[in-house]
Each structure stands twice: as C-alpha cells, then as structure tokens.
Amino acid sequence: MKKTLIAYFSAGGVTAQVAQRMAAATGADLFEIRPVQPYTKADLNWMDRNSRSTLEMKDRACRPAMAAAPDVAPYEVILVGFPVWWYREPSIIDTFMESADFTGKTVVPFCTSGGSGLGDSAENLQALAPGALVKKGKRFAASAGAEALKSWAEQF
C-alpha cells in the first residue's frame, strides 16, 4: 500500500469510527479534521433553517476554520472521510482541501450516510485541488467491517 493518510471530519462519531477501523486495518496514518468551533447538537439540526450547518451549506463560499491542518507532503494517497450534508461534503472539507497543496496526490473521498451517496463531492474536491487526481470514492455504512474497508482503501 502506498503511503496513505486518512483525513476525516465527523460530527456525530460515525465517520470517526469508520475512519479509525480503516486506519487500523490498513496501517494508514489518521488525521481528524476538527473545526475551531465544535458543532453542537443545535448547530447540526438540519430541520432548523438558521442552524449553523444549514447556513454553512447554503453558502458555497463558506469555509469554517480548522483547528489544525496536516502536512500532506509525505503522502501519496489521501482518503478524505465525512458525513454527507445536503447531498455533498460539509463545508469544512472544502476548507481542508484548500489548506494544503495536493498536487500529484491521489485524493479519494469516502462518506458515511444512512442512504445518500457522495453526490458531486468528488467533482467539488477536484475543483478545490486541481493538481490532484481525485477518484470517485464510496459511501460506507456505519457497520462497515475492517476487511471491506481495507480492501477498498488498498486499491489506491
């Protein structure tokens, strides 16, 4: 397997669990994409038109600040995990993609969701990191097993 970083954002813990299982199964390094201002339960209420997450997702230029950015230079492959929000990646993933130089890297999104897929996330990530090769990616259920995660991650 190529030198791989699994970078993930998790609002409710599901994506974190999948990313951690994937890292343990593959030996890849793990980086949590954390917002400077953590999301509260009220922030994540998608039924509230004025919740933080709703307002962020309405504004395609929104870039929530990250607590830290990783050094992606040593990695050939970066697997980017997130929950699906409004049929795409959360805005903090856009912040992450603009935080480093992904030129020459293979970037592969993966998401967790009860049923929604990645939508246009791969295309969005490619636009944010034009020097990268962004692959289509995959949706995983919360219950995804270590062997399935390893098999998927090691193909890149």
Q: Tell me the pLDDT tens digit for each residue of 76-87.
A: 999 999 999 878
Beta carbons of 112 and 15 less than 8 angstroms apart: yes
Its CATH class, for the domain covering 4-153, is alpha beta
pTM over 0.75: yes
Is residue 44 within 8 A of residue 56, CB to CB? The reply is no
> Is the predicted pLDDT of residue 1 greater than 80, yes or no?
no
Q: What pLDDT does 46 receive?
A: 82
pLDDT band at residue 47, thresholds of 50, 70 and 90?
A: confident
Whole-number pLDDT of residue 88:
87
| Beta bridge partners of residue 124, listed in sequence order | none
